């Protein structure tokens, strides 16, 4: 059996409320059980790869090779725009 490790998590309020509701409904005994179940599903489905610049380039190249859509795509312009959005300025 795997050894348990203690972590402290801070969740956005909407997610925290969902965790509380799941426990209040009796779906889970504790908040830890809710988070454990969610992580197990995430792992089973295959956690998404990190969206690095190199991974984004690979996806763009794959899309260009597929030739499903016409038009030019400027990855550098997209990355520059993404870097200047409020969500990415931290």
Q: Per residue in 18-48, pLDDT tens? A: 999 999 999 999 999 999 999 998 888 887 7
User: Which pair of structure tokens corresponds to residue 89?
Assistant: 């300025």
**pLDDT, position 90:** 40
pLDDT band at 1, cuts 50/70/90? low
Q: Terminus-to-terminus CA distance in the chain, angstroms?
A: 40
Q: pLDDT (tens digit, 9 = 90+) per residue, 44-75?
A: 888 776 667 777 788 778 777 776 656 666 77
Is the separation of the CB atoms in 58 and 70 below 8 Å? no
């Amino acid at each position: 059996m795997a050894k348990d490790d203690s972590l402290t998590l801070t969740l956005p309020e909407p997610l925290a409320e969902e965790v509380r509701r799941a426990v209040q409904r009796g779906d889970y005994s504790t908040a830890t059980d809710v988070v454990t179940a969610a992580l197990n599903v995430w792992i089973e489905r295959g956690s998404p790869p990190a969206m690095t610049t190199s991974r984004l380039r690979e996806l763009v190249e794959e899309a260009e090779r597929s030739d499903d859509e016409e038009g030019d795509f400027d990855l550098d312009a997209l990355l520059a725009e993404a870097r200047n959005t409020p969500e990415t300025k931290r």
